[in-house]
C-alpha cells in the first residue's frame, strides 16, 4: 500500500486541485474554506479561486462547520441541493411509472415544484435522458413484459399506454429492437446461429441473427454463455452453425489473443435509444485508448449521466465488437467488467502494445 504524501505535499496537491477546479485522486476527498468569506467549497467550485494564504483544507463538511465555516451556495459541498434534486427526479420517475399514459412535462415540473425548463435540465442531468425518453422506456418495458407473457399484440399495446398499434409498428426497433410479434414470441420464429470455440481467454460463444452478430461472450463455461444468450431470446431457435460463423469467430478469437485492430463485424444491436448512443460512442474510441465514464457522458452532451453510461456499458451484448473494456473510472482504475477485470487489463495492455508497434 503506497505511503500517504507528507502534509505539505498533500496541501500542495489540494491547492492545485482548487486552481484546476477538478478533484485529484492523489489528494483523497477534501473541501477548502475561504477565511475572508467564511464559506467552504468543493474543489470544483465555479467561484474565483481564493488567495492561497486565505485558504484552509478540511477532510469533510462537519470539520469545516466545526471550524465556523458555512456551506457555499454555488457548489453545494454538503450535497443538500443535490439530494433535493435527486428526490424530485425520483418522484417524477415514480409518477411516470404509475401513470397509464405519458404525463406532460408541465405536470411533472409542477409536481416537482420547478419551472419547466429547469426541471427538464435537472431530469436530463440526473437520469441521462429526457422525461419523454424515460416514459417511452417505461412503455417499452411494459409492452415487452406483456408480449413475453403471451398477451395479444393489441391488448399489450393498449395496456402499455400506446395509442395504437401503428405507433409501435412504425418504428419497432425504437421500442423493442424487433417487431411486436417477434417480441411476443420471445424470439420465436427467429433463428440465432451460434458457434462455440476456444480462445486465449477461455470458452467463446458467438451468436448471430440474419442481420448480424447479436451476442459475444467469453471466459465462462460454454453452458453459461449459451444460457445467457437463451435468456435474451427465450423462444428463438438456437442453431449451431460453426461453418457459417467461422470467419467471425476467427476474427474475435484473434482479437482476444492479440488485439491488433478494431473488430469490424456486422452487428444486430437491440437496446434503448440511449444505450445505442453509448454503444456507438464506444465504437469510436480508438484501439489502445480509454475514456472515463464521466468523459464519455460529457462527449454525449450529458455530463451528469455517468451512471446511465456505466449501466449501458454493463448491458453491452457484444463484448469486444462494442469495446466497453476501453472505459475506466475517473481515477484510471479499471473498475468492473462483465468478463473480469484481469481480462480487461489484458485486453488494454494488448491494444497498447499494438499501438506501439
Domains of the chain (ranges; CATH) run: 7-71 (3.40.10.10), 79-181 (1.10.10.60), 192-250 (3.30.160.70), 273-351 (1.10.10.10)
Active site residue 41: yes
Higher pLDDT residue, 170 or 196?
196
CA distance 93 to 105: 12
Higher pLDDT residue, 269 or 250?
250
Confidence band, pLDDT 50/70/90 cuts, at residue 157:
low
Kindly name the residue from 45, 72, 313, 324 that is annotated as catalytic: 324
Q: Are 308 and 129 in contact (CB under 8 A)?
A: yes
CA distance 246 to 82: 52
CA distance 198 to 178: 31
Active site residue 324: yes
Kindly name the residue from 41, 45, 75, 93 that is annotated as catalytic: 41
68: pLDDT strictly greater than 60:
yes
User: Which residues, listed in sequence order, are joined to residue 58 by a DSSP beta bridge?
Assistant: 31
Confidence band, pLDDT 50/70/90 cuts, at residue 180:
very low
Question: With pLDDT > 90 as the criterion, what percentage of the chain qualifies?
Answer: 33
CA distance 327 to 310: 9
Kindly report the pTM of this predicted structure.
Answer: 0.54
Please name the residue that has the C-alpha cell 453452458. Answer: 223
From the number of C-beta atoms within 10 Å of its C-beta (0-12, 13-18, 19+), residue 319 rates as: buried
Amino acid at each position: 500500500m503506497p505511503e500517504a504524501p507528507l502534509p505539505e505535499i498533500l496541501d500542495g496537491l489540494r491547492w492545485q486541485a482548487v486552481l484546476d477546479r477538478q478533484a485529484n485522486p492523489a489528494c483523497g476527498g477534501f473541501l477548502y474554506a475561504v477565511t475572508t468569506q467564511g464559506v467552504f467549497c468543493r474543489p470544483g467550485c465555479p467561484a474565483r479561486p481564493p488567495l492561497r494564504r486565505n485558504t484552509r483544507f478540511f477532510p469533510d463538511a462537519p470539520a469545516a462547520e466545526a471550524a465556523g465555516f458555512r456551506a457555499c451556495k454555488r457548489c453545494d459541498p454538503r450535497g443538500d441541493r443535490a439530494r433535493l434534486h435527486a428526490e424530485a427526479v425520483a418522484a417524477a420517475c415514480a409518477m411516470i411509472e404509475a401513470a397509464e399514459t405519458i404525463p406532460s412535462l408541465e405536470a411533472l415540473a409542477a409536481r416537482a415544484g420547478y419551472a419547466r425548463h429547469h426541471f427538464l435540465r435537472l431530469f436530463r442531468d440526473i437520469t441521462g435522458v429526457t422525461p419523454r425518453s424515460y416514459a417511452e422506456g417505461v412503455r417499452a418495458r411494459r409492452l415487452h413484459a406483456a408480449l413475453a407473457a403471451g398477451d395479444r399484440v393489441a391488448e399489450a399495446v393498449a395496456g402499455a399506454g400506446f395509442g395504437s398499434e401503428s405507433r409501435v409498428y412504425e418504428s419497432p426497433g425504437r421500442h423493442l429492437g424487433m417487431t411486436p410479434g417477434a417480441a411476443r414470441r420471445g424470439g420465436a420464429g427467429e433463428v440465432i446461429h451460434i458457434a462455440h470455440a476456444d480462445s486465449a481467454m477461455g470458452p467463446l460463444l458467438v451468436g448471430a441473427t440474419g442481420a448480424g452478430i447479436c451476442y459475444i461472450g467469453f471466459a465462462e463455461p460454454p453452458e453459461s454463455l449459451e444460457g445467457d444468450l437463451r435468456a435474451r431470446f427465450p423462444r428463438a431457435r438456437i442453431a449451431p452453425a460453426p461453418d457459417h460463423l467461422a470467419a467471425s469467430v476467427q476474427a474475435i478469437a484473434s482479437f482476444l489473443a492479440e488485439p491488433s485492430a478494431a473488430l469490424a463485424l456486422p452487428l444486430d444491436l437491440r437496446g434503448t435509444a440511449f444505450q445505442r448512443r453509448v454503444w456507438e460512442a464506444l465504437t469510436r474510441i480508438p484501439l489502445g485508448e480509454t475514456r472515463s465514464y464521466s468523459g464519455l457522458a460529457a462527449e454525449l452532451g450529458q455530463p451528469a449521466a455517468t451512471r446511465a453510461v456505466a449501466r449501458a456499458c454493463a448491458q453491452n451484448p457484444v463484448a469486444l465488437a462494442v469495446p466497453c473494456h476501453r472505459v475506466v473510472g475517473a481515477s484510471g482504475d479499471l473498475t468492473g467488467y462483465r468478463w473480469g477485470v484481469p481480462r480487461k487489463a489484458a485486453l488494454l495492455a494488448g491494444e497498447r502494445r499494438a499501438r506501439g508497434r
